[in-house]
Amino acid sequence: MNVIVNIDSQKFSLNGIPYFKNFTSHVANPATGKVRIVNVYDSKLQLTDFEDFTQYSVNGVVHSSLANLISALLPVIYSRNTLGTIFVGNADRLLSVGATTVVENDVTIASASALIQGNIYTDADGETFNVPFAAIGKIRIDLVIIDASSQMTLLSGDETDSGNIAVPPFNLIAAGAIIVQQINVTENDFAFITPPVPYYEEFVWEEGPQTFEVPLGTIVRSVYHNRTKLFRNEYTVEDNIVTVDYVEFDPSETNIITIEN
């Protein structure tokens, strides 16, 4: 089951992992009832494979038809508010997460760091939380967050029957807090999901085609020229090399190329 939840005007979550609203649904053949979620700028970047519409939950609802699902998905996974002005360089985000260890019901996260409103906040000493198992036949989702106090906090979700869909306690997250860890809790076990730590780097661009090297394994999702998002035909990616071309160079100012995953 793909659990999709609206977070705010710029972000949604898929199975507890937050994403900017730069995605759309793609139906290859309506007769099959199958749909996938892809990036609006590059359909090769997909969040889900083609799956039956009954395998999607949007804000806690499993819709009765493909058409109803598509209508519900649109405002949740896509927004024009993310175009041109919102990008990972100036967005609040998780920077790093230390190792997670479990001893019985004690969950320890060694450290965490986040960028919040332009400032870096770090819980360098880490935190230990006592996480009780769910009641017999129940499940729930807990979240660990970090905020401007530089301290991680555990937020406990509501329990539901194991055959239902557990919803993370997004309503308990205060403005400016960042998710560090999602803990899926059953009656006798834990499963952990750590949000991806974004890659973000700025380069000075000289006139003409120029290549930029990013870490191996980086999935380049967006490239910006002086904070304007480039279209996919304005740059190429091969292995860990990004080549920028077809962009109007402005000799009157420093030209900055920003690459993010």
pLDDT in tens, 216-231: 666 677 788 777 777 8
Q: Where does 40-196 show beta strands of DSSP type E?
A: 51-52, 56-58, 93-97, 100-103, 106-109, 112-116, 119-123, 127-130, 138-146, 152-155, 160-161, 178-185, 190-193
DSSP annotation of 9: S
Model confidence over 72-86: pLDDT tens digits? 898 898 876 544 433
Contact call for residues 142 and 131 (beta carbons, < 8 A): yes
What is the chain's mean pLDDT, rounded? 82
Helical H runs in 20-135?
66-77
- Domain layout of the chain by residue ranges: 2-82, 88-193, 200-260
Question: How far, in Å, CA of 132 to CA of 189, rounded?
Answer: 10
> Can you give the pLDDT at residue 84?
41
Q: 183 exposed, middle or buried (CB, 10 Å; 0-12, 13-18, 19+)?
A: buried
Stated pTM of the model: 0.54
Secondary structure class of 171 (helix, strand, coil):
helix
The Cβ of residue 19 has, within 10 Å, a number of other Cβ atoms equal to 20
Q: What backbone phi and psi angles, to 5 degrees, belong to 220?
A: -75, 115
For residue 258, with 0-12 CB atoms within 10 Å meaning exposed, 13-18 middle and 19 or more buried, which class applies? buried
List Cβ neighbours of 25 (8 Å cut-off, separation of 6 or more): 35, 36, 37, 38, 69, 70, 73, 74, 77
Full pLDDT tens readout for the chain, 261 residues = 889 998 877 788 888 888 888 888 888 788 888 999 987 766 667 888 899 999 999 988 888 888 889 988 988 988 765 444 334 455 677 878 888 999 999 999 999 988 887 788 899 999 999 999 999 999 999 999 999 999 999 999 999 998 888 888 888 888 778 889 889 999 999 998 877 666 666 777 777 777 888 766 666 777 887 777 778 778 888 877 888 876 676 676 677 777 776
CATH number of the domain at 88-193, out of 1.25.40, 3.40.50, 1.10.3470, 2.60.40? 2.60.40
Which pair of tokens denotes residue 106? Answer: 């004690």
